[in-house]
Amino acid sequence: MAITTLWDVAYFMATALLGLVGRIIPPLAAPLGNVDLIWGLAALVFGAILLAASMINTIMLIWFERKMLGRFMDRRGAMHVGYAGLLQNFADGLKLFRKNTFKPRDADGLGFYAGPTAYLVTSLLMFGVLPVSTGWSDGSLPLSMLLALVIFSFAPLFIFISAWSSNNKYSLIGGMRSAAQMIAYEVPILLAVVAVVVVSGSFDLNTIVNEQRNFWFWTLPLTLAMIVFVTGMLAEMERIPFDLPEAEAELVEGWNTEYGGMLFAYFMLADYVRALAGSILIVLLFLGGWTLPSYVPAALTSFPLAGIFWLMLKTYLVFGVFVWIRAALPRVRTDQLLRIGWMRLIPLSLASVVIAAAFVLVKCVPVLGCVPSMGG
Amino acid sequence: MAADVEQKGRSKPENPFLIIGKPLATAARQFAKSLIRPSTIVYPFERLEDPKFREEVAIRSGRPIGVGQVWDNYRGVHALNVNTCISCNLCAFSCPDLCIDMVTVPGGDPKHPKKCPQIDYGKCSYCGFCSDACPEGCLSMTTRYELSTPKRAEMVYSPQKMFEIYQRKLPMNPIRLERPANEDSILLDVPLCIGCNACARDCPTECITMLDIPKVAPKPGEKPAKRIWKEPVINDSDCVRCGTCISVCPKECLFWGTHS
Amino acid sequence: MESNPEDIRAQLTAAGAVGVLAVEPFDGAAARVKFAPESAAALFQVFRDALGFTHLSTVGGIDWVTRYEVFYLLWSDATKRYVILSADLDAKTPHIETASPTWPSANWHEREAWELVGIHFDHHPDLRHLLMPDGYQFHPLQRAFKLHEPEELEVKVRHV
Amino acid sequence: MSEMWINMGPQHPMTHGLWNLRVRIDGEMILDVDPEMGYLHRGIEKISEDRHYNEVITLMDRTCYVAGMAWEHLYIQAAEKALGITAPERAEWIRMMSEEFQRLASHIMWYAAFVQDLGLMSPFLYGMRDRDLILDLFQAYTGGRLTYEYMRVGGVRNDLPEGFPKQAREVLDWLEPRLVEYDRLCMGSDIFRSRCDGLGVLKESDCVRLGVTGPMLRSAGSKRDIRKDRPYSRYSQVEFDVATADAGDVTGRYLVRMEEMRQSIRIIRQTLDWLDHHPGPVIADHLPRWLGAPYAPVGREGYLLKRNYPKGVGLSAIEEPHGEACAYVVNEGGEHPYRVKFRSPVFANLSACSHYLVGYRVADIPPIMGSVDVCVGEVDR
């Protein structure tokens, strides 16, 4: 069996593990050889690898942001734990882990504890859906993009639950802002995605990425859609121009005011998990995913794990742009945010759908030539 | 929505598009500059008072650190030269926070024990009045600023501890108070004096000598004056103007003023 | 910046102000106007409207043990000068009419003067504690309030 | 959602100090505000009555912890008037330079905190970085970075050290382009403009009525500046313009403060030029000993009555970075001031806060209160 995908690796590990156990304890050899059992264990191993990879990437993302933001602000960022502060976030996480988690007296216990947990778990679910390279998962979901966006939009529910149940006025205002903001920005995001679907003719992220390979990504015909999508993503991630729900100047910490210790860490982590997933989504939808344009020398894409390398590089660059925006722009106001969402982005996203449809009809771009396969 | 409150701040129509190019460019320029070396100092490892580090970051055009030199005149922990201290109490008098106690140190004669300042840094406000007041220059402030400690009692620095700091030869604050050229002296209200010797006894510099004065016979009908026929004479050049004599004078006959 | 009490006196006479006891020269201000506390409200109006002292800088009180003094520092944008109004109040129940209707900025200054010095301002719209805790019974800037004896004070704080 | 009161403070990122802004809101709309002060009340006026004239200076640095020099200057002027002492010419120029440096430092500090309230973190660090250079200068000639204890009744503590004017000019050269950079980050950004335009409007007549002074007043179009209208120190001998704006809103206050920084740089340059060519004493050559320096405490009534001390009342007013500050020092003879009364500009500016907050949104509170530049130390004193 050739090991080409991560699933193969997981399956191989599960087989080997069960085989080893069967070798040591011969009576168990036959029942352990059950294909379903191997498949189940392989799924577990697959999930564990995925979780570890995404968590490490998330924490690296936090480090990346801290260092980069530091340079934008003429300072250094984390310095001392590990080389250039690489392990600082692990140290911070350990500290939060050791802290006491306490609940305000009048807070609702179930919501208070379940909210952040569910928020983190649903955010992590994203990585089960997003393909990271051709060798990542076996097969593909036909509607994976839709599924990713659905998972992505779970968040306001849990934020609101945790905000409401922590029984704090700031949390409440923050939760309401969060809900309003995320709902307002779902619409332009979905419309921008429609433009992508129109051009690629598929809801499958694998297909979308492969389609882009032929055509120097889609930045030119889908520039407008990309701007709308990135702006919407900024709002969905609650990053700085749109971080009203946790606007610390007026709302202390917004919806996570009452949280401390590990529950706060859940929120922080989930925020960055969402940031990572969102950045990956942007790369997949607009920047060619793990592929490079077809005229790039093959040597650049043929080394081992090249797909993951290029995807992560692009992801970090996209996230770097977010950090840049954070370093340079103040936060907008709630009404302005909603006005930007409803009055500017939605018309823009509708326009982007029209533009995309026009491209599909013409199948040509003035400078770059014609692409017969466009539009599926 | 309460009807009586007018909604404000919504009159100006907003731009259709938000122009954000300038701040982005400014941040990017700063990013590029900081890539070489950010302006911050990695504090416990790099210190501005360290001359080697100072040379390294010295004048470099366009960098905020090293725009100029750094002076050694920070008002930090005190250094005390116990040997030259004359126990004049001026530092304790001058302290606005009452954080200086005069404690006995070994070395004085048993009759007049030598007293030196002990400073409670929990109260000290680092105003420098004490080192300004010190007439002998034995109490001065150093650039040392790290004195955090887990115990509050350790914030009280005894004279010996400050003497150790003195012996470490840290950079001292070179600024001395420029004292006015012709200061007030201590004057005597002669008719009030009873010659009790209190001022001469307590003078830290021993600049007061009690001189005999001719005995004045009581006028007829008056009781003879109850006094010792001596009078303090103050050697102005030795006087540090601590005012101890004024405060101990039982008859309030010494006062500040100018010879004229 | 010369002190110019004659000018103030002339203007006050022209405006028909009553209750002015004395107009003294004062270094740094046009004059110090002593007035009788009973005629405060009318005099404030005169100073604001006739003399153009539109800006009330501050209100302060001094405890002179045998009497209280309340002083108002006014500024005129037109003539660019200060004037000090000052009134003596009796030591038992020092009180004077509030200046808040004339200068709304007096509100907080009078609250402060009331709680720190103990001068009561009649008809003040909102005479609550400002710097001290609610229910604080002492007036710290009175001479009878000595420092270095905090343990003798019993502070009753009302929790709202 | 029904109306509710929320407490913004005493520990809240918006407050920049220790005070409590109670806000009644309906949704995001502010219906009423009620500031609660006094969390930082240290009784400075009372403590001053128990201290020597010079020892009050240590309190002045702590009155407003970002504008210590200005408050020292204010108090020293009043105390000198009350005691009948004049400082030498050079000391006055050094004081003026110190006050302008302090204004620069205070405004930069304000800029840093204000922009950070809007969610923009990098200008905060730029501001702190540049303010540090001014603090270096303060350290160079006073020995302190925040609590200077520099001015004395009758002059200043010491002359400027050698090499100071050179470094001061270098710092000014560094700061001038930085101010442009600040502007690019704020005024160049439409998000910033849309956050600040038309917020917290207070018309000139309202400002005068409510006792609001300083940049808040000048942003509404008034040209009142104590430095111009009633020149103290040597302000009559330097050239500068009074910064004004028209709108009276947050943007206006921003513009006024930015322009004031440029004018401060202008004043400092003139002052440095003057100081270069006029060496001289910096403290009055004859100070009564009972005043100028510490001595054994006497404090007995009999002594005080027997000796003749001058009596007097001193009033001084300066244009502090936050606005018009006044000091009223009563000298009844003796070593301690009889009564010290300070007029804090922020105290008055804050007392008007219901007039510029009601009707706006919760999200507008940080920019509006940021533009007021609250320094709780001088409100509570």
What is the spatial distance between Cα B87 and Cα A280, in angstroms, rounded to a whole number?
74
A44 is a domain residue: no
Cβ-based contacts under 8 A for chains C and D? 98
Read off the pLDDT band of B11 (50, 70, 90): very low
Contacts of D51 in chain B (CB under 8 A): 96
A121 is a domain residue: yes
pLDDT in the model for residue C154: 46
Whether pLDDT at D259 is above 50: yes
Whether pLDDT at D302 is above 60: no
Whether pLDDT at B253 is above 70: yes
Which of the two residues, B250 and D75, has the higher pLDDT score?
D75
DSSP letter (8 states) at residue D36: E
Domain of residue A242 covers: 99-370
Contacts of D141 in chain B (CB under 8 A): 175
Instruction: Please give the average per-residue pLDDT across C118-132, as a whole number.
Output: 86
Domain ranges for chain D, please list them. 47-345
* b/e sequence C50-59, b meaning 16+ C-beta within 10 Å: ebbbbbbbbb
Whether pLDDT at A79 is above 60: yes
Chains near D with 3+ CB pairs less than 8 A apart are: A, B, C
Partner residue opposite B38 with nearest CB, options A74, A339, A340: A74
Partner residue opposite B26 with nearest CB, options D147, D185, D287: D185
A187 is a domain residue: yes
Q: How many CB atoms lie within 10 A of CB A258?
A: 22
Q: Tens digits of per-residue pLDDT, A133-181?
A: 766 655 567 778 888 888 888 888 888 888 888 888 888 888 888 888 8
pLDDT in the model for residue C155: 46
Q: Tell how far CA A334 is from the center of its chain.
A: 24
Least confident of A208-217, C100-109, D35-44: A208-217
Provide the shortest C-alpha distance from residue A352 to chain D (in Å).
24
pLDDT in the model for residue B57: 63
Percent of chain C with pLDDT over 70: 90
Contacts of D352 in chain C (CB under 8 A): 104-105
Coil vs helix vs strand at A365: strand
Whether the Cβ atoms of residue D219 and residue D248 lie closer than 8 Å to each other: yes
Give the torsion through C-alpha atoms of D319, D320, D325, D326, to 10 deg. Answer: -70
Partner residue opposite D119 with nearest CB, options A69, A73, A247: A247
On average, the pLDDT of chain A sits at 80
Q: Tens digits of per-residue pLDDT, A183-200?
A: 888 888 888 888 888 877
A79 is a domain residue: no
What is the spatial distance between Cα B122 and Cα D185, in angstroms, rounded to a whole number?
42
Whether pLDDT at D89 is above 80: yes
User: Tokens 């302008």 map to which residue?
Assistant: D100
Residues B239 and B161 in one domain: no
Whether pLDDT at C2 is above 70: no
What is the spatial distance between Cα A208 and Cα A285, in angstroms, rounded to a whole number?
7
Structure tokens at C132: 């001290």
Chains near B with 3+ CB pairs less than 8 A apart are: A, D
Judge: A250–D120 Cβ closer than 8 Å, yes or no: no
**What residues pair up with D32 in beta bridges, in sequence order?**
D24
Judge: D189–A331 Cβ closer than 8 Å, yes or no: no
What is the spatial distance between Cα D343 and Cα A217, in angstroms, rounded to a whole number?
66
B31 is a domain residue: no
Whether the Cβ atoms of residue C40 and residue C87 lie closer than 8 Å to each other: yes
A19 is a domain residue: no
Whether pLDDT at D90 is above 60: yes
Residues B162 and B86 in one domain: yes
B16 is a domain residue: no
B111 is a domain residue: yes
Residues B223 and B154 in one domain: no
Structural domain total, chain A? 1
Domain ranges for chain C, please list them. 5-152
What is the spatial distance between Cα B87 and Cα B106, in angstroms, rounded to a whole number?
13
Output the pTM of the full model.
Answer: 0.86
Provide the shortest C-alpha distance from residue D196 to chain C (in Å).
26
On average, the pLDDT of chain D sits at 84
Q: Tens digits of per-residue pLDDT, A19-42?
A: 888 888 888 777 777 778 888 888
- Strands C120-122 and C95-97 come out as parallel
pLDDT in the model for residue D379: 86
DSSP secondary structure of A169-185: HHHHHHHHHHHHHHHHH
Contacts of D364 in chain A (CB under 8 A): 333
pLDDT in the model for residue D268: 92
Q: Tens digits of per-residue pLDDT, B161-216?
A: 888 888 887 777 666 665 555 667 777 877 777 878 888 887 877 788 888 877 77
Instruction: List the 97-136 stretch of D: residues with Cβ below 8 A of A.
Output: 115-122, 124-126, 129
Q: Going by C-beta distance under 8 Å and a sequence separation of 6 or more, which residues neighbour residue A314?
A: A283, A287, A288
For C104, which residue in chain D has the nearest alpha carbon?
D210
Preferred mutation among D5, D33, D341, D344 to probe C, highest tally of C CBs within 10 A: D341
For C63, which residue in chain D has the nearest alpha carbon?
D339
CATH 1.25.40.420 correct for C5-152? no
Judge: D194–B14 Cβ closer than 8 Å, yes or no: yes
Instruction: Please give the average per-residue pLDDT across D246-270, as a whole number.
Output: 89
Which of the two residues, B49 and D68, has the higher pLDDT score?
D68
| The domain boundary residue, chosen from B113, B141, B167 | B167
Chain D interface includes C16 (CB < 8 A): no
Question: Residue D207 is which amino acid?
Answer: C
Structure tokens at A261: 């210790």
CATH architecture of D47-345: Orthogonal Bundle (1.10)
Which of C34, C59, C40 is CA-nearest to residue C116? C59
Asked whether at least 3 C-beta pairs link A and C within 8 Å, the reply is no
B113 is a domain residue: yes
What is the spatial distance between Cα D141 and Cα D134, in angstroms, rounded to a whole number?
11
Read off the pLDDT band of A13 (50, 70, 90): confident
Q: Going by C-beta distance under 8 Å and a sequence separation of 6 or more, which residues neighbour residue B214?
A: B229
- Which helix (H) or strand (E) segment holds residue D116: the answer is helix D89-117
Instruction: Please give the average per-residue pLDDT across D252-265, as a whole number.
Output: 90
pLDDT in the model for residue A301: 73
Domain of residue B107 covers: 78-167
Preferred mutation among B19, B141, B178, B186 to probe D, highest tally of D CBs within 10 A: B178
Structural domain total, chain B? 2
Chain D interface includes C84 (CB < 8 A): yes
Judge: D201–B26 Cβ closer than 8 Å, yes or no: no
Q: Going by C-beta distance under 8 Å and a sequence separation of 6 or more, which residues neighbour residue A65?
A: A272, A319, A323
Partner residue opposite B27 with nearest CB, options A75, A328, A344: A328
Judge: B27–A71 Cβ closer than 8 Å, yes or no: no
